[in-house]
A and B are shown apart, each in its own frame.
Chain A
Amino acid sequence: MDLLTPGPGLIIWQAFVFLLLFLLLSKLAWKPILHSLKEREQSIQHALDSAENAKKEMANLKADNEKLLRETREERDKILRDARDAANRIHDQAQTDAKKNADRMIEDAKSIIQTEKNAALRDVREQVAMFSLEIAEKLIKKNLSDDKSQKDLANTFIKDLKLN
C-alpha cells in the first residue's frame, strides 16, 4: 500500500532539509535563545539571592543594634548600680566614722567622769572621815562626861575580851 511505503525521494529531502534546519537553527537560533533564557534565569536568581542577602543583612543589623542597645542599657545599669553602691558605702563609712567619734567622745567623757567621780568620792570619803572623827570626838566628849558611862563602856570591852 502506497500510504505505508516511505518514498525514498522524500526521505532524502527530509533528511537533508531537517539536518540543514537543525544546523542553522542550532547556531543562529537555539544557542542565543537558550543562552538568553539561562542568563535571564541567572539574573533573576541573582536578584532574588541579593534580596535575600539584603534581608539577612538587615536582620543582622537589627540584631546588632539590639545587642548594642542591650549592652548600653546594661552598662548604664551597671554605672547606676556602682554609683549607688559607692554612695551607700560613703554613707555607711560616714555613719561608722561618726559613730566611732561619738563613741570615743562618750568614752572620754565617761573616763573623765570616772576620774572626777573618783576624786570626788575620795574627797567625800576624807570629809566623811573627818566629820566622823569630829562627831565621834563630840560624842565621846558628851558620853564620857559621867563615871557610870565610863564604867559601862569599860565593862563592854572587857566582856568582849572574855568571849574571845
Chain B
Amino acid sequence: MNKPFSASKSAFLITFLIVLTSVFSPVSGADKTGGESEPFNASEVILHHVMDDHQWHFADWLVMPLPVIVYSAEKGLDVFSSSRFYDEHHKAVEYNGYKLEHNHITLTGSGKAVFDLSITKNVAMLFITAALMFFVFRSVANGAKNNKGKAPKGLQSFFEPIILFVRDEIVKPNMGHHYEKFMPYMLTLFFFILFGNLLGLLPGAGNLTGNIAVTMTLAVFTFLITNFSGNKGYWSHIFWTPGVPLPLRIVILPVEIIGIFTKPFSLMIRLFVAITAGHIVLLSLICLTFIFGSIIVGVGSSVIVLFINLIELLVAGIQAYVFTMFSSMYIGMAIQDHSHDH
C-alpha cells in the first residue's frame, strides 16, 4: 500500500500539509471549553468530533449551518436551516414544533422522532467526497482519452498505478477471470473509502467512513452483489455442502447461513472501528493537553499526534485495500466454478 504515498513529490507534500493542519485544527475546536471555564469533558469533545452533526462546527467563530430536511406523518415534509435550533448565544431552542436534542430531532408536541433526511455534516462530507472523486476520475478519464497511445500525464499518471493495483493485486487474484464485470464497483468502492478516509483526516472534516451508517451501506452493497451473483455452486455449498457426511451437513447448514451475514457484518465493523478508533486516539492525545492545561504536555502530545497521523494515513490506505479485497473475495467465492473442487 506504499504505492500512492511514495508515488510523487506532490503526494508527499499533500500528506505533509494534511498532517500539519490536522495537528492544529482540533486544538482550535476544543478552545470553547477552555474559554468558558467549564470543566473540560474529554469524552464529550471526542464524541462530538467523531459523530455526525446537524451543523458543521469548524471553530467556535466558524459554524456552518446545514439544511434540515425532516418528514413526519403529522407535519409532512419540512426544510429549514439548522441555525434555527440555536439563538444568538448558541443556546439550543425549539423551532416550529421541532426540537433538536443530542442530534435527534423530535416533535415537541408528541415527543415522537421524525424521519430525518437532513444534510448533516457527514452527508455534506459525502457530497464533497463524491464530487471530488467525480472530478478527479473524470480528469483521469479525459487524460486517458486525450493521451491515447502516449505516456500518461498529471493526475492520470498518479491514479493509473493505483487503478492497476486495485485490478491486478486486489480484484483479479480474488475473482478469477470474471473479474471485469465487477471492476467498476470495486474501483468505486476502493476510491470512495480511500478518499473518505483521507478527507476524514483533514482538519474540521466529518468522520464519514468512520460512521457505521456509511460502512453498513457499503457492506450491504457487497452483500447484495455477493448473493445476487452467487451461482449454483455457491448456494449448494451453503445448503447442502458436498463432500461432507450427512449428519454434519445439518450442523453446517446454520453455520453457513450465519456466515452469509457475518461476512458483510465484519466488513461494516472493521472499517467503522479502524477509522473511528484512529480518530478517537488522535483526539484523546490532543485532549491530554487541555486536561493537563500544560504547554509541555501539548508539545509532547503534538509530536505523538504527528506520528499517529502518519499511521492514520497508512490505515486509510490499508482499510480501503482490505474492504475492497474482502468484497472481491466474497463475491469471488460466490461466482467461482466449484466443479473442479472435489
Closest Cβ of chain A to B122, distance in Å, is 6
B52 at the interface (CB under 8 A from A): yes
Mask of A1-39 contacts with B, CB within 8 angstroms, 1/0: 011111111111111011011101110111111111101
Closest residue on chain B to residue A10 by CB atoms: B213
Choose among B102, B116, B180 the residue that contacts A9 (Cβ–Cβ < 8 A): B116
Per-position 1/0 for B99-117, Cβ under 8 A of A: 0001100000000000111
Tell yes or no: B138 within 8 A of A by CB: yes
Residues from 77 to 112 in A contacting B, C-beta threshold 8 Å: none
Interface size on B, residues (CB 8 A): 48
Contact A33 B221 (CB under 8 A): no
Whether B212 lies near A6 (C-beta < 8 A) is: yes
Judged by a CB distance under 8 angstroms, whether A43 is at the interface is yes
Given known A18-B217, A25-B187, A33-B144, contact A10–B47 (CB-CB < 8 A): no
- Once the chains bind, are A33 and B137 in contact (CB under 8 Å)? yes
Chain B residues, CB < 8 A from A3? 47, 50-51, 212, 276
Q: Which of B47, B102, B141 contacts A33 (CB 8 A)?
A: B141
Q: How near does chain B come to A11, taking the closest CB pair, in angstroms? A: 5
Interface 1/0 per residue, B109-144 and A, CB below 8 Å: 000000111111011001100100110011011001
Report the Cα distance A10→B213, complex, angstroms. Answer: 6
Residue from the list A7, A17, A35 in contact with B126, Cβ < 8 A? A17
Residues of chain B with a CB closer than 8 A to A43's CB: 149
The residue from B103, B144, B216 contacting A6, defined by CB atoms under 8 A apart = B216
**A20 in complex: contacting residue of B51, B130, B149, B212, CB < 8 Å:** B130
Instruction: Known contacts A18-B192, A37-B163; decide if A10 and B184 are in contact (CB<8 Å).
Output: no
Interfacial chain A residues near B174, Cβ < 8 Å: none
Q: Which residue, A5, A6, A14, A35, has most C-beta atoms of chain B within 10 A? A: A14
Q: Is the CB of B52 within 8 A of A7?
A: yes
Q: How far is the CA of A43 from the CA of B116 in the complex (A)?
A: 53
Q: Please give the distance in Å from A144's CB to the nearest CB on chain B.
A: 148
Chain A CB within 8 A of B185 CB: yes
Whether the Cβ atoms of B138 and A29 lie closer than 8 Å is yes
Task: Write out the residue numbers on chain B whose beta carbons fall within 8 Å of the beta carbon of A21.
Answer: 130, 133-134, 188, 192
Closest chain-A Cβ to B269's Cβ sits at a distance in Å of 10
**Which of A11, A35, A39 has a CB less than 8 Å from the CB of B216?**
A11
Known A-B contacts A3-B212, A6-B216, A18-B192; A32 and B141 likewise in contact (beta carbons under 8 Å): yes
> B117–A12 contact, CB under 8 A?
yes
Give Cα A3 to B145, complex, Å: 44
Chain A residues in 8 Å Cβ range of B212: 3-6
Closest-CB distance, A93 to chain B (whole angstroms) = 77
| A22 and B192 alpha carbons, distance in the complex (Å) | 10
Flag if B213 contacts A11 (CB, 8 Å): yes
Q: Check B188 against A32 for contact (C-beta < 8 Å).
A: no
Q: Enumerate chain B residues within 8 angstroms of A36, measured Cβ to Cβ.
A: 144-145, 148
Q: Which residues of B contact A29 (CB under 8 A)?
A: 134, 137-138, 140-141
| CB < 8 Å neighbour of A17 from B103, B130, B216, B221 | B130
CA distance A35 to B130 in the complex (A): 22
Alpha-carbon separation in the docked complex, A5 to B272 (Å): 12
**Beyond A7-B213, A25-B187, 6 extra complex contacts between A and B, CB < 8 Å:** A3-B47, A3-B276, A10-B126, A25-B188, A32-B145, A33-B160
B residues sitting closer than 8 Å to A (CB atoms) are: 47, 50-52, 102-103, 115-120, 122-123, 126-127, 130, 133-134, 137-138, 140-141, 144-145, 148-149, 160, 163-164, 167, 180, 183-185, 187-188, 192, 211-214, 216-218, 220-221, 276
Instruction: Name A's B-contacting residues (CB within 8 A).
Output: 2-15, 17-18, 20-22, 24-26, 28-37, 39, 43
14 contacts between A and B (CB under 8 A): A4-B212, A5-B212, A9-B115, A9-B118, A11-B216, A14-B217, A15-B221, A17-B127, A20-B130, A21-B192, A24-B134, A25-B133, A33-B144, A37-B163
Q: Which 10 A-B pairs have the closest CB atoms?
A: A6-B213, A29-B137, A36-B144, A26-B184, A10-B213, A14-B217, A29-B141, A30-B184, A32-B141, A9-B116
